[in-house]
A and B are shown apart, each in its own frame.
Chain A
């Protein structure tokens, strides 16, 4: 079975909100109708977004780290938001595991948003139906686009490649490898919702330099230099030019 998901690398995210912007742009222009904002150019602008980038400060001054944290629907494998929906408007697709809302069936009772512990659902005050991330279901299967374009808008927008997209049930996919090799984790595991989206933790970037990397191992006798041969400690051509 397929379970499409995003993997978000907190080690790389710079908090630029490009994913938020591109998400809104794509999804407000789609066949599902606009995502209307209230007071967009006024005091207290507000509106519906599928994706938000939040910022947290971890630690105490001066030992602090700023963590930018993109958050959207996690397409849980055990989505608590789905069974509570009285109309069946909220559903999880069997074929790819995407959790969707049928805007034509939704009665806007907001019950599903109460049942999501992550606050991933937002009501559209204009259309008065519940909205949430669709994993760009209207992009990723659109065969009129090139393979590169058939990825969620947020993934394509990210300038640092902090967002990966793929099938987490396929052990050889890019996302499965990223989760496996970088300690990917799920949010609020205590509720057993089994989010499909995963996050990669902040990692310390260490540079390890070995002795033989300081002294050129492939040219130990400096045979490319002019005669008379300089001493081994003298700089060689490699050290002063960059070819």
Chain B
């Protein structure tokens, strides 16, 4: 497929935003159960603000993908059948929840609504946080299922796609949260950086598993099934146009196989290996700058990863578009 930059930015930005929010609420949950000292409201508020900005930027990028952005509201119509429609609903819902969560913390509006049997208080931010967590996972699933549900795109049609979207978004979000905590809430930094490390390692395992799986895929459709002629030797001589068409532009990345191969190693290094090193370093030195660098490198790596994700998918329609004439 041809990777559209709008979608590359959309999926990586909101993935990091979701991960960041999950990291914030992880800290709040630990604190609510007394596993960690309570943190200043400003940590959550600033974190939510950054998450909201990432989500807004992602949404903004997504509009560049549409031919008619002014009609985007229509995309909420078919949530019963379309994962894209579900994403269009989940994204603003999640964004709104994150925003309210941040506002509640910033202004300290946090009345206790109920009490758990254990005596732990349930306040507004706990409710918003739980809702946000559910929505964050729903959004990860919707985003990934947009790709994973297309059964002809066999590189995507696997549960690994969903797992990777969750792990890679989570990894970048937790790394960013660790960098933020280094200045805003130093005593939770080790927790967040450790989680970031664990999720990044899991992400590496998930992504590597996908690469291995995809390298062994055998195409289901062939030129024989595409035109229905049972002969082992068929060559396309003309595809009906010479100047190209939507079909020759949208479904092929237009780069060499060598670039694709090298990009694979580039993103394995920058999205996983280098961040793992930087996270460990930042964790042991308690250096916020190193953690921030880890996030930046990882985010750039994830951009490459996402580009590769799209480019690697081979659409069966390409069987019909192999020879210019």
- Residues of A that sit less than 8 Å from B by CB: 17, 20, 39, 43-49, 52-60, 66-67, 69, 71, 80, 82-89, 105-111, 113-119, 122-123, 125, 127-129, 185-191, 199, 201-202
Quote the shortest CB–CB distance from A158 to chain B (angstroms): 16
Quote the shortest CB–CB distance from A136 to chain B (angstroms): 19
Quote the shortest CB–CB distance from B221 to chain A (angstroms): 5
Name the contact of A88 in the complex, choosing from B77, B83, B325 (C-beta under 8 A): B77
Which of B152, B228, B318 lies at the interface centre, i.e. has the most chain A CB atoms within 10 A of its CB?
Answer: B228
Complex Cα–Cα for A187 and B236 (A):
16
| B1 interface hit (Cβ, 8 Å) | yes
* B67–A84 CB distance below 8 A: no
Quote the shortest CB–CB distance from B211 to chain A (angstroms): 22
Contacts of A43 in B (CB 8 A): 243
* B228–A187 CB distance below 8 A: yes
Name the contact of B151 in the complex, choosing from A47, A86, A111, A191 (C-beta under 8 A): A191
| B264 interface hit (Cβ, 8 Å) | no
Complex Cα–Cα for A127 and B151 (A):
29
| B246 interface hit (Cβ, 8 Å) | yes
What is the 8 Å Cβ interface bit string for chain B, positions 239-265, against chain A (1 contact, 0 not)? 111111111001100000000000000
Contacts of B75 in A (CB 8 A): 86-87, 107, 109
Known A71-B240, A114-B153; 16 more pairs at CB < 8 Å: A46-B244, A54-B320, A55-B238, A57-B236, A67-B229, A85-B82, A106-B68, A110-B65, A115-B150, A119-B251, A119-B321, A122-B245, A123-B67, A127-B67, A191-B316, A199-B227
Complex Cα–Cα for A190 and B318 (A):
16
Using CB atoms, name the residue of chain B closest to A118.
B317
Known contacts A128-B67, A187-B227, A188-B316; A44 and B244 CB within 8 A of each other? yes
Using CB atoms, name the residue of chain A closest to B230.
A201
Complex Cα–Cα for A4 and B180 (A):
61
* B239–A190 CB distance below 8 A: no
Using CB atoms, name the residue of chain B closest to A40.
B243
* B234–A56 CB distance below 8 A: yes
Name the contact of A52 in the complex, choosing from B85, B240, B316 (C-beta under 8 A): B240
Name the contact of B74 in the complex, choosing from A58, A84, A107, A186 (C-beta under 8 A): A107
Which of B66, B67, B244 lies at the interface centre, i.e. has the most chain A CB atoms within 10 A of its CB?
Answer: B67
**Could you name 15 residue pairs across A and B whose Cβ atoms are closer than 8 Å?**
A39-B243, A44-B243, A46-B243, A52-B245, A54-B238, A59-B233, A86-B75, A105-B71, A106-B68, A107-B67, A107-B72, A109-B67, A110-B65, A118-B317, A128-B67
| B76 interface hit (Cβ, 8 Å) | yes
| B61 interface hit (Cβ, 8 Å) | no
Complex Cα–Cα for A130 and B146 (A):
18
Complex Cα–Cα for A66 and B226 (A):
16
| B216 interface hit (Cβ, 8 Å) | no
What is the 8 Å Cβ interface bit string for chain B, positions 62-103, against chain A (1 contact, 0 not)? 000111110110111110011111001000000000000000
Complex Cα–Cα for A125 and B246 (A):
9
* A45–B243 CB distance below 8 A: yes
Known contacts A88-B78, A106-B68; A56 and B235 CB within 8 A of each other? yes
* B229–A202 CB distance below 8 A: yes
Complex Cα–Cα for A81 and B284 (A):
52
Name the contact of A106 in the complex, choosing from B67, B245, B251, B321 (C-beta under 8 A): B67
* A57–B78 CB distance below 8 A: no
Contacts of B153 in A (CB 8 A): 114
Using CB atoms, name the residue of chain A closest to B146.
A111
Contacts of B315 in A (CB 8 A): 114, 117, 119
* A84–B149 CB distance below 8 A: yes
Contacts of A54 in B (CB 8 A): 236, 238-240, 320
Interface residues of B in 211-229 (CB under 8 A from A): 220-221, 223, 225-229
* A86–B239 CB distance below 8 A: no
* B317–A116 CB distance below 8 A: yes
Complex Cα–Cα for A146 and B231 (A):
43
Interface residues of B in 298-322 (CB under 8 A from A): 315-318, 320-321
Contacts of B239 in A (CB 8 A): 52, 54
* B234–A185 CB distance below 8 A: no
Contacts of B72 in A (CB 8 A): 107
Which of A60, A122, A129, A188 lies at the interface centre, i.e. has the most chain B CB atoms within 10 A of its CB?
Answer: A188
Using CB atoms, name the residue of chain B closest to A199.
B228
Complex Cα–Cα for A132 and B149 (A):
22
Quote the shortest CB–CB distance from A124 to chain B (angstroms): 8
Interface residues of B in 16-73 (CB under 8 A from A): 65-69, 71-72
* B221–A188 CB distance below 8 A: yes
Quote the shortest CB–CB distance from A8 to chain B (angstroms): 11
* A107–B236 CB distance below 8 A: no
